[in-house]
Amino acid sequence: MDQSIAPSSRRVVLGVSEPTDDALDAPDLPTEPMPLNMGPSHPAMHGTVRMVLDVEGEKITSADVQIGYLHRCFEKESESATWTQVFPYTDRLNYVSPMLNNVGYAMAVEKLLGIDKQVPERAQYIRVLVGEMSRITDHMTCLGAGAMELGAFTAFLYMLKAREWFYELLEEVSGARLTHSYMRIGGVCDDLTPDFVPRLTDILKRSRVVLEDVSKLLDRNRIFRDRMDGIAIITREEAIAWSLTGPVARSAGLAYDVRKDHPYLVYDRFDFDVPIGSVGDNFDRYAVRVEEMKQSMRILEQAMEQLPGGPVVVNDPRITLPPKSETYNSIEAMIAHFKIIMDGIHVPPGEVYSFTEGGNGELGFYLVSDGTGRPWKCRVRPPCFPAVQIMMKLLPGLFLADVVPTFGMMNMIGGECDR
C-alpha cells in the first residue's frame, strides 16, 4: 500500500487536544444515568438514524446506534428488475454521489459479462470524470453540513454553492440533477455535452477559491477546532479491525484507496496522492476530505487533458440498446430493443465481487446471475456501514455535544447504509 502522505495534506495543528478542565469532571455534581433518545429524526443529524444513549450528566456511558430507517429493500427489489433497471436504484444508495454508485454497479455487471476490457476508452474517461465530480459533491456535502451543525453556516452555504455548480454540469450531461442513472452496462448512456471541458475547467477554478475560503473560515477557527480536535480517535489498527475504508480509514493512517491499490478504469494513468491523517480524530477526517477534493480536481484536469474520442458504449446488440433510428427502421434492432427492455441483458450464470472507491470508501457489489435477465442476488457492501458501526465504540466517554460532529464526519448516508 502507498503509505506516502501527500505533501499538501498538512495539518495546522496535529493531534493536540485541549487540557481537560478538572472542574468539569468534578465528582461533586450528583448525576444519575439517564437513557436519551436521539433521532430517528433529529435536526442536528443528517440521515435518519436512531441513537439510544445512556448519559450521566453530559457524558455518554453507552451508545446503541440503530439503523434501518431508510431501508428500501434495494437488494430484494433488484431481483425483480432487469440488470439495467437496477441503475435508478443505485442512484439512491449514496445519493450525494450517485455517479460513483452507477460506476460501481456497471463495472460489476460488466465483469460478470466478461466485457470489462471492451468498454470503450472514452466511456472509461467519462466515468472517471463524472465519478470524481461526484466525489467532490459528496465531500462538500459532508463537510458543509458538518460545519453547519457546529454553527458555521457560512461554510455550509459556500460549499453548497460550489456543489451546485457540479450538479448543474452533471445535470447537463445526464439530464437529472441528483438521480443521474447515467451509466449503462458497457459504457454510458450518452456522450458528454460539447462544452463540457471548458465548463468543468471553469468550475474547478471557481471551486478552488471556495475551498480556500472555507479553509480560512474553519481551519483556524477556535470553535470549530475545539469541537473537532482529539474527538473520537480511531487508530489504524481499529480501522482495520472494524473494516473501515475510505476517508474515515485514511484519516486513521490506513492508506487504502481502491483507485491506487486496485486501479480500475483508467486511474493508473493519473498522478494523484492519497492523503492520510496522523491522529484519526474528527479534524483528521475533515482534513483528509478537503485534501481528497483537491486530489480529485487534479484527476479531473488530467482526465480532461487525456480525454480520447470514440464511442461511449460497447457495440453489441445483446448489451446496448440500438439507436432509435435503427430500432424504428429495422426488425433486427427492434427485436434487440424489445429483448433488452422486456427480458433484460442476458448475463451468464456466475457470481462476481467488484469494488470501487465510493465517496465513503470501498463500495462493493456482489452479484449472482442465474443466466436470466435479472440479478439472482445483488448485494452491496456499503462503505459507511462499518463507519456507523464503530460509533458504538467511539461515543462512550464523549460528551453529548460530541455526537453531532462525530456522526457528521462519519458521513452516514442512510440510503447507502440501510439500502
Partner 1 sequence: MSTSAAGPGSAVPVAVVPKAGSGPTPAVIESVNVTIDGKPHQFPKGTNLLEACNQVGANVPFFCYHAGLSSPAVCRQCLVDVKGQPKPVPSCYTPVADKMEVTTASPRVLDVRRQMLEFTLLNHPIDCPICDKAGECTLQKHYFDWDAKFARNDGIKVHKDKVVDIGKHIVLDQERCILCTRCIRVCDEVAKTHELEMANRGDHEVLTTAPGHRLDNPYSLNTVDVCPVGALTAKDFRFAMRAWELSSTPSVCPGCATGCNVEIHTARGHVYRLVPRINQAVNKHWMCDEGRFTYKALHAERLAAPRIGNSPTDWDRALEEAGKKLRAALDADASKVGVLFSAQTTNEDLYLLERLAFEHLRVGKAYLAGRDQGWHDDILVSADKNPNTAGAIAIGAGRLKNLMDLANDLRSGAISALLVLGAEGVLVGESAAAAMPVDRLSALVVIGTHTDLLVDSAHVALPLAAWAEVDGTFTNRLGMVQRIRAALPPAGDALPGWEIVTHLARRLGVTLDFSTPKAVFTEAKQKLAFMKDAEWGRAMLPVQLRFAGSRG
Q: Which residues bind partner 1 (CB under 8 A)?
A: 316-318, 322, 326, 328-336, 338-339, 342-343, 346, 372, 374
Name the nearest CA neighbour of 141 among 87, 95, 209, 174.
Answer: 95
Least distance CB 185 / partner 1 (angstroms): 15
Specify the residue, 109 or 169, whose C-beta has the smaller distance to partner 1.
109
Q: Tell me whether residue 319 or residue 417 sits nearer to partner 1 (CB atom).
A: 319
Q: Side chain identity at 71, as an amino acid letter?
A: H
The grid coordinates of residue 212 equal 480556500
Interatomic CA distance for residues 64 and 98, integer angstroms: 29
The nearer residue to partner 1, 153 or 338, going by C-beta atoms, is 338
* Nearest distance in Å: CB 343, partner 1: 7
Q: What are the φ/ψ torsions at residue 357 (nearest 5 degrees)?
A: -90, 105
Cβ distance to partner 1 smaller for residue 317 or 396: 317
d(CA 333, CA 342): 14
Q: How far is CA 194 from the centre of its chain?
A: 27
Residue with smaller CB distance to partner 1, 58 or 316: 316
Q: How far is the CB of 317 from partner 1 (least distance, A)?
A: 5
The set of cell numbers assigned to 339 is 429483448
Q: How far is the CB of 48 from partner 1 (least distance, A)?
A: 34
Q: Are 232 and 257 in contact (CB under 8 A)?
A: no
* Contact assessment for residue 326 and residue 77, using Cβ atoms and an 8 Å cutoff: no
Q: How far is the CB of 257 from partner 1 (least distance, A)?
A: 39
Q: How many CB atoms lie within 10 A of CB 292?
A: 27
Question: How far from 333 is each of 103, 166, 272, 318, CA to CA, in Å?
Answer: 26, 36, 43, 10
Closer residue to partner 1, CB minimum distance, 3 or 80: 80
Q: Report how far Cα 138 is from the mean position of its chain's Cα atoms.
A: 6
Nearer to partner 1, 372 or 389 (CB): 372
Q: Mutual orientation of helices 196-218 and 153-174 as an angle, nearest 10°?
A: 170
Cβ count near 80 (within 10 Å): 9
The least distance separating partner 1 from the CB of residue 162, rounded to whole angstroms, comes to 44
Name the residue among 191, 188, 192, 171 with its Cα closest to residue 102.
188
Please state the closest distance from residue 339 (CB atom) to partner 1, in A.
5
C-alpha 60/C-alpha 58 separation (Å) is 7
Instruction: For partner 1, give the closer residue by CB, 14 or 334.
Output: 334
246, 279 contact by CB (below 8 A): no
Each residue of 258-280: b (16+ CB within 10 Å) or e? bbbeeebbbbeebebbbbbbbbb
Report the sign of the C-alpha dihedral through residues 408, 411, 413, 419, in that order.
negative
Find the shortest distance in angstroms from Cβ 323 to partner 1.
10
Q: Which is nearer to partner 1, 210 or 333 (CB)?
A: 333
The distance of closest approach from Cβ of residue 331 to partner 1 in the complex, given in angstroms and rounded to an integer, is: 5
Residue 159 or 336 with smaller CB distance to partner 1: 336
Question: Please, are residues 257 and 216 in contact by the beta-carbon 8 Å criterion?
Answer: no
Residue 375: φ, ψ to 5°: -65, 140
Tell me the closest approach of the beta carbon of residue 370 to partner 1, in angstroms: 11
